[in-house]
Structure 1
Amino acid sequence: MSRISPEKMRSLLKVYFIAGSTNCLQDPVTVLEAAIRGGITIFQYREKGEGSLCDLEEQKLGKRLRKICKENDIPFIVNDDIELALELDADGVHIGQEDEDAAQVRRKIGDRILGVSVHNLEEAEKAKQAGADYFGVGPVFPTATKTDTRAVQGAAMIEELKDFGVPIVGIGGINADNAELVMTAGADGVSVITAISQAEDVKEAAARLRDKIQGGKI
């Protein structure tokens, strides 16, 4: 397996859906299947928060979600947990600044996709040198999903990093109503959790977001 090209990565980042059992109003399997029908382009398994699954239960759900992604040719990314990603034969991992060093993660996962959350130019340069395939940049807007104290950045950091040579996905508080702002700032796609996972009609929510993305990219 060879490293993914930046051009291919940019196409995959368009509608980046992130979810775990704690985020979904319905069965996560049902939600993912509907989101895929609505047009998501990549999926991240993020099993975190109060009441989240652990150990074998987390792995069991991960296997089910991984199978759905594989059947639909949707890249399957695991949040933070490198060992779980390898156990599930994930297509890649996404790490934050508080997680394992990006260069060490790259060595462990080989040519799988490596996404890194960055919040400033120094973090971005370090992640680029470590072999990040894409940056997660944000939080762009206020979000209740993550409990860290990162300041909301708006689209400013996306604008600073858009010519860095690494594909960018906007993170934090994004929905169909503000997605175009993220894209016009220079992002290659948007990542969402609740905008899809807690929608009454998951397929429609994913489709609406994809329509906005396609309309917002200049």
Structure 2
Amino acid sequence: MKLYALCDQGMLDKKGISLEEFVKIAKKQNAEIIQYRNKDADISFIKQQLILIRKLYDGFLIVNDAYELIDYCDGVHVGQEDLKKIDEEISKAVSILRTVVSEDKILGISTHNEEEVLNANKMDVNYIGLGAYRETETKRDIDSVLGAKLDDIASLSKHLVAAIGGVKLDDKFNNVTYHVIGSGLLK
């Protein structure tokens, strides 16, 4: 199992955990990737947080949605709804993003079902996030929980797969490269 630590600012604020504390915990758990997600802040605050994480952590740093900050991290992760804000056609949105997120940077997108995984196979992305595996407190409006189906759907991907949504450190998958864990690191 490889750990992809999801650092959600809302979760940190709710639990009273500093960014520094989260990074320390992620490093102790040997996280290969930290993704910083903040759905409520302005771009300058997100930039400050990325700079701070980079000072504390030398692994891969991914920003959620804020592709305009790609110079401050190693990649960007974008969900389906946020891709539709770029272009209603997801494959076009990914192509547009690739003009900003160069080939030497990581581009990941969220997927939630077999159809989205198969569509992602045709796109120039480095990995997909697949889920939700379980219900989770950090994501709003989860349409469906994949549960045991996640691993079978992951087997359809030609890209690396990161299991997302309620994943725990001790979960076992055969076709998943990364366990994306946020609040589960803080228990």
For the superposition of Structure 1 and Structure 2, which TM-score range results when normalised by the shorter chain?
A: 0.7 to 0.9
Deviations 1:140-160 (A, max 9, x none): 111121112321111314313
The runs of 4+ residues in structure 1 deviating greater than 6 Å are none
User: Identity of aligned pairs, percent?
Assistant: 28
Query: Match for residue 47 of structure 1?
Result: 38
**Residue 187 of structure 1: SS of its match in structure 2?**
coil
Match of 1:57 among 30, 41, 45: 45
Query: Match for residue 28 of structure 2?
Result: 37
Distance (whole Å) between structure 2 residues aligned to residue 95 and residue 137 of structure 1: 12
| Contact 1:21–1:27 (Cα < 8 Å) also in 2 | no
Matching of residue 98 in structure 1 with residue 81 in structure 2: yes
Query: Match for residue 161 of structure 1?
Result: 154
**Residue 6 of structure 2: SS of its match in structure 1?**
strand
Query: Match for residue 190 of structure 1?
Result: 179
| Contact 1:140–1:173 (Cα < 8 Å) also in 2 | yes
Query: Match for residue 139 of structure 1?
Result: 132
**Residue 118 of structure 2: SS of its match in structure 1?**
helix
AA at the equivalent of 1:82: Y
Distance (whole Å) between structure 2 residues aligned to residue 41 and residue 167 of structure 1: 14
Alignment of 1:103-118 (within 5 A): 103-111=95-103, 112-118=105-111
Alignment of 1:73-92 (within 5 A): 74-86=59-71, 88=72, 90-92=73-75
Query: Match for residue 26 of structure 1?
Result: 17
Distance (whole Å) between structure 1 residues aligned to residue 165 and residue 99 of structure 2: 28
Given the two structures, how large is their TM-score scaled by the length of structure 1? 0.73
Query: Match for residue 3 of structure 2?
Result: 15
| Contact 1:106–1:130 (Cα < 8 Å) also in 2 | no
- Of structures 1 and 2, the one with the larger relative CO (CA 8 A, separation 6+) is 1
Distance (whole Å) between structure 2 residues aligned to residue 31 and residue 160 of structure 1: 31
Task: Give how far 1:163 is off.
Answer: 4.3
Distance (whole Å) between structure 2 residues aligned to residue 116 and residue 171 of structure 1: 11
Distance (whole Å) between structure 2 residues aligned to residue 147 and residue 23 of structure 1: 12
| Contact 1:118–1:124 (Cα < 8 Å) also in 2 | yes
Deviations 1:87-127 (A, max 9, x none): x2x11111111123222112211111111111223322332
Q: Unpaired segments of 5 or more residues in structure 2?
A: 84-92
Distance (whole Å) between structure 1 residues aligned to residue 137 and residue 22 of structure 2: 20
| Contact 1:140–1:153 (Cα < 8 Å) also in 2 | yes
Q: Unpaired segments of 5 or more residues in structure 1?
A: 1-12, 200-218
Aligned length: 174
AA at the equivalent of 2:61: F
Distance (whole Å) between structure 2 residues aligned to residue 113 and residue 165 of structure 1: 15
**Residue 145 of structure 1: SS of its match in structure 2?**
coil
Distance (whole Å) between structure 2 residues aligned to residue 127 and residue 113 of structure 1: 15
Match of 1:127 among 116, 120, 127: 120
